[in-house]
Structure 1
């Protein structure tokens, strides 16, 4: 059964407003928790860069730049700051010395784990009360949204 046009429009408005509010609130909560934590010297943008580098992967600068959709120059400037603050380390790739791999220091790994715990709580709260079939629908909606975002960002 098709939704009535007025219901569909109301659903679209609700979802749009919810996405905007949720994004704003997550960013506000992250920024507030950073200020109250032992990581007062980090910004939300730097936190997400640490998260993109990851715990164990030793990604290259090119991989991280692509993941975050940053120019190599912008990434380098941000990496310089994170390195100076003691969150990351750059190492030369042993197979190809032109490639720089990124890793987290113990301070960076601690920050990563704290941020990851926040996101786990976020997802648990989001999925609370849904059965497995409903979770699969939510996953499909998230895939659809990410596909759309990827297509728009390629333009």
Structure 2
């Protein structure tokens, strides 16, 4: 591995780990201290504005419906999500965020916005464009190489 490749690898691994750690600390120390990172990402996958089927959310999270069911049960108990069945087909389960869930969604979105704004603060427009282009290329590579959707 040449020097450049090694450095890029170290930076990507460190960046990934740091973002997860920052998210964990932010959740523990904030108003969402009763949520785990997995739970906040589940809330994020449900989305703000419409009901989603359990299958849609499970697919988006790349987990099984049974795994999602466990997570949703916890989020329902905590008051972040509500679940309903379609009357015409009782097999279809719809989930949506409660008012508390929508607040958690907005707080997490704001956290990400602030994190990114702080990270790119001081970059020129050209540097921002290069960063976006580079991250897009890396992202596309991983999606194609590992068949991620």
Question: In structure 1, what is the equivalent of residue 27 of structure 2?
Answer: 34
**Secondary structure of 2:35 counterpart:** coil
**Secondary structure of 2:122 counterpart:** coil
Question: In structure 2, what is the equivalent of residue 3 of structure 1?
Answer: none
Q: Is 1:24 the counterpart of 2:11 in the alignment? A: no
Cα deviation 1:98-132 (Å, max 9, x = unaligned): 43222111111111111111100122123223344
The structure with the greater share of residues assigned to strand is: 2
Tell me the CA shift for residue 94 of structure 1. Answer: 6.7
Question: In structure 2, what is the equivalent of residue 126 of structure 1?
Answer: 119
Q: CA RMSD in A?
A: 2.4
Unaligned runs of 5+ residues in structure 2 are none
Question: In structure 2, what is the equivalent of residue 5 of structure 1?
Answer: none
Counterpart pick for 2:5 among 7, 12, 15: 12
Question: In structure 2, what is the equivalent of residue 86 of structure 1?
Answer: 79
Question: In structure 2, what is the equivalent of residue 145 of structure 1?
Answer: 138
Q: How many residues align?
A: 148
Question: In structure 2, what is the equivalent of residue 110 of structure 1?
Answer: 103
Tell me the CA shift for residue 45 of structure 1. Answer: 0.9
What's the TM-score, normalizing by structure 2?
Answer: 0.83
What's the TM-score, normalizing by structure 1?
Answer: 0.81
